[in-house]
Amino acid sequence: MKISKKAFRLLLAALMAFSFAACGSVAEADKSLDEMKEEIRAQYGENKRITDGNYDKSLAVKCVNGTFVGKKKEGVIAYKGIPFVGKQPVGELRWKAPVDVVPDDGVYEAYYNGKSPCQVDDVWQKASLYVQGEDCLHLNIWKAEDTSAGGNKSGASTRVEKKPVIVWIHGGAFEVGGTVERREEGTNFVKENPDVILVSIEYRLGVFGFLHLSHLPDGKDYPDAQNLGLMDQIMALKWIHENIAAFGGDPDNVTIMGQSAGGGSVTLLPLIKGSHAYFKRVIAESGSPVFTRSTEEAIACTNELMEKLGCKTVADLQKLDVRKFVDEADMLTLRVWAERDGNYLPLDPYEAYAKGAARDLDFLQGCTKDEMGYFVVGFGLEGYNAFAAERKMKKLAQLTEKEKALVESFCENANDVSSEYSSTSRLFDQLVFIAPLFRMSENQTRAGGKSYTYYFTVESSVPLLRSGHAVELSTVFNHPEETLVTGRRFDETFSKTMRKMWVQFAKTGNPSLSADISPDGKAKEWPLYDLQDKKVIVFDEFDIHPARESELKILDWERTYFLTRYYCL
């Protein structure tokens, strides 16, 4: 699906209008937005080398590439802007694989977020919210202060039992986003769950992270350009594996977690050779291998961009102003995905799962009930329906006549009169999110692996958004004050229970809760997905419960499941 820059601005404006509805005037709404901008930009800064020895040794952790000094707040120590590469991907290293770190005895501040990846100007107002740069490969770590008798001044815990580690990979269609997002800041999460360590990582986005170049006249020197964003993620995971023990984390108990493109990432990383050394569990929210493209599609996108820019070689691209290059690349919005190149990623990721590529990993994965509601709000019903009709036409052109008939039959019966959602919106719910989710659960289970599958039904108070894409994120990270998408605060006990399940999964590989650790004092049994009953757990705000898919009729197995063969494009 291709959404223009203008459409993204409309989406942001619509969501903010609902979020600021309680404000008494436009001026008050603008003030709220200005305060948000100021708060976000204050998180950026230059982490300097400390040469005078004047720093708090209890907040310092020695790593391979330096000793990093964090900041403590409310019993949680945050280490921000730690580089996980030896050289940043700038200049001659643009479009090259990430460079590993080298030993460094220096002491450095880890007080501020590093730069966010370069991304389309004005999309989600990132130009004004984010400090951007190609030198963006940094990560952030949150850990609870060690107050045990065995704690020492090195900042590393001396406890025998290391803590499970959760590594967050942000979403944003592989084109926008960053770890500086307020709703994904880790202090609140770790304060509530001090028995885990949380890490968030940056990776190259858009045309810097996923641009096919090897077919160009001088492209042979850039064999990895199409999947650099994933390579960055692997390099970050390697750094975590080698250094997290110094923070009190268990390098052998790492869970990778992501939403949207981040969810797509964490379902692709297990398919990369050697990756299983760095993690053992996966939490995928509203994301799957559907967010990929073929080599042919990737080349076509590059050629379109080259023609628009008047460029013929990589050398030509290198001469362009970075801001102009990123802005012109807006023409490829929602078409810049990871590439199924048959080398770094398999040509058929789903089949790789069916053959057992990740049978040794535990999965927790799911989607929301009204994923496309997020986009319905942004466009408005009329605008969205026109956009979706165009995308449906392009999708139908890829199908056989029999498949077209099945899709048309689905659409004839899928109108949701209660919300005025178009049948095409429900079709894209199935194509982009629901069908890929169940194919993942089916194939992982068929191969002998474990999948815990969920269906999130809690609704935002934003009209038409309902249980839309990303509606659960402020709950997952314990930021109830972030109501831009939710429009309201979700029930506190429900929210704590959901987070507890995520943490329990990271600890043990099973998200079920016994009564003694469940926030409401009642046991919560989350059954494994199986090929016969196809059980999922339903995240209803006041009734978290397991159910068979057939009872809920989440997926149309006959008329939409086959669409996973066609991915997102």
Hey, which residues are catalytic here?
A: 260
Rounded to an integer, what distance in angstroms lies between the CA atom of residue 243 and that of residue 165?
12
- For residue 303, give both structure tokens: 């050629």
Amino acid at 37: K
User: Which of 451, 254, 453, 238 has the alpha carbon at shortest distance from 353?
Assistant: 451
How far apart are alpha carbons 550 and 405 in whole angstroms?
A: 23
- Burial class of residue 355 in the structure, from the number of CB atoms within 10 Å of its CB (0-12 exposed, 13-18 middle, 19+ buried): middle
Beta bridge partners of 138: 83
Instruction: Kindly report each contact of residues 297-303 with a partner whose C-beta sits within 8 Å and lies 24 or more positions away, as own/partner.
Output: 297/335, 297/569, 298/210, 298/212, 298/226, 298/339, 299/212, 299/215, 301/212, 301/332, 301/335, 301/336, 302/211, 302/212, 302/213, 302/215, 302/216
Question: Within a 10 A sphere around the Cβ of 416, how many other Cβ atoms?
Answer: 14
3-state secondary structure 232-298: HHHHHHHHHHHHHHHHCEEEEEEEEEEECHHHHHHHHHHHCCCHHHCCCEEEEECCCCCCEEEHHHH
Q: How far apart are the first and last CA of the chain?
A: 6
| Pairing status of strand 76-83 against strand 138-144 | antiparallel
Q: Do 167 and 506 meet the contact criterion of CB atoms below 8 Å apart?
A: no
